[in-house]
Amino acid sequence: MPVLVTGGAGYIGSHAVLELVGRGERVTVLDNLSTGFDWAVPEAVDLVVGDVGDAVFMQSLLEERGITEIIHFAARSLVAESVADPLGYYLGNIVKTRTLIQAAIKARVTRMIFSSSASVYGEPVVDIIGEDEPTVPINPYGRSKLASEWMLEDAARAHGLVYTALRYFNVAGADPQGRSGQSSRVATHLIKIASQVAAGARPGLEIYGTDYPTRDGTCIRDYIHVTDLARAHVAALERLRAGGGSLKVNCGYGRGYSVKEVVDVVKAVSGIDFPVTLSPRRPGDPACLVARADRIRAELGWEPTLDHLPTIVGHAIEWEKCLERRKAAGRAAASVA
């Protein structure tokens, strides 16, 4: 039976699809293309355009295709946007996930992988965050992810569904073969923005806060390559297939880099010394967010292969160049037409 990947035309979802296809899995992608791109889905994969919040549609799709496994990426994912539009995020990330879970139970889906976030921890009091740290999210995005974890936990207890919730730290980079990358219209992540500057798509970069209690005064984050993260999803699915129980795990490398260190690496890899503006702190930015990554290795047998910041940055820059070429080709085609 095919694996259903919701949000499989988006950034992380498309990389998971590439990993699944590369392992010979049959995959169906469901995406409403609000932030995803149809060209990000491999030609050999069946793309269904639809919404996980449509209960009748979801029930029909799962039953007609005999789907028993779901990897659920479809969600809204911008923290600042969630603060401005909390009800929209509760609809998109909680209500629609509930609809998906209900349809999955009715259709006898047995396994689900859920795309969660380190945002569920809020502002932790420790620098290295384990899965058993308190979950006290400080924005609607983080709350929506935590509420979805609760729903999965309760549904698993009541209905026998088994799941894995993967709590992402800072995802970056692009497919090493250049087949996919972060293509979102709104960029909020540091490596994405810095790579756009290096590729000439932005004039400069802002650093928010230089007075944090860290080694150079700027925030420290755990950056994980998107392909390593995609492989974690496959490993989680294989563990559930082997009879593993429900699980929540961090997805990170267990090592952090400061904002200044990331900027220096982007400059070194690109060979471009771009302008950087120092600005005040943004509200709600913790000084340090680094994953305790023991559980993901022990439970999933996951070993990263791209744990190297210059590699992550290099792949991100190459993808930005690819996007710029794609835009140029589009403009050229439009002028000819």
Structural contact between residues 27 and 8, judged by C-beta atoms closer than 8 angstroms: yes
Domain boundary assignment for the chain:
3-175+225-252
Annotated catalytic residue, options 11, 121, 141, 163: 141
Can you give the three-state secondary structure of 228-272, one letter per residue? HHHHHHHHHHHHHHCCCCCEEEEECCCCCEEHHHHHHHHHHHHCC
Q: What is the pLDDT along the chain (337 residues), one digit of tens a residue?
A: 899 999 999 999 999 999 999 999 999 999 999 999 999 999 989 999 999 999 999 999 999 999 999 999 999 998 889 999 999 999 999 999 999 999 999 999 999 999 999 999 998 888 899 999 999 998 999 999 999 999 999 999 999 999 999 999 999 999 999 999 999 878 889 999 999 999 988 999 999 999 999 999 999 999 999 999 999 999 999 999 999 999 999 999 999 999 999 999 999 999 999 999 999 998 767 889 999 999 999 999 999 999 999 999 999 999 999 998 887 777 665 666 6
Neighbours of 132 (CB within 10 A): 9
Residue 141 annotated to the active site: yes
Q: Is the pTM value of this prediction over 0.85?
A: yes
CATH number for the segment(s) 3-175+225-252: 3.40.50.720
